[in-house]
Amino acid sequence: KRVLEQCAGKRVPEQCAGKRVLEQFAGKRVLEQCTGKRVLDQCTGKRVPEQCTGKRVLEQCAGKRVPEQCAGKRVLEQFTGKRVLEQCAGKRVLEQ
């Protein structure tokens, strides 16, 4: 179990099956869990739960709801003004 310091001074415990994935996302720290579920903890304190179970509804911080397919293929989505190239395999590439 690890505790990561977020940009807002928040401390978030992370469990990731022996691995740790922490990346910069739109100037904020993103905590990813390796259990198929994932929580994006923004500096604003909002939490965005994601599930990769065939179809998924991603609730944005702006209250926007974006349905997307997540079956191992790449998904392009808009998130806080950034374009995210995402794979369900757990890898993700951020485009500026």
For the chain, which residues make up each domain, given as ranges?
2-95
Q: pLDDT tier at 2 (50, 70, 90 boundaries)? A: very low
The 10s digit of each residue's pLDDT in 42-84 is 333 344 444 333 333 343 333 334 444 333 333 344 443 344 4
Q: According to the model, what pLDDT value does residue 33 have? A: 37
CA distance 94 to 69: 18
CA distance 91 to 71: 14
Q: What is the pTM of this model?
A: 0.13
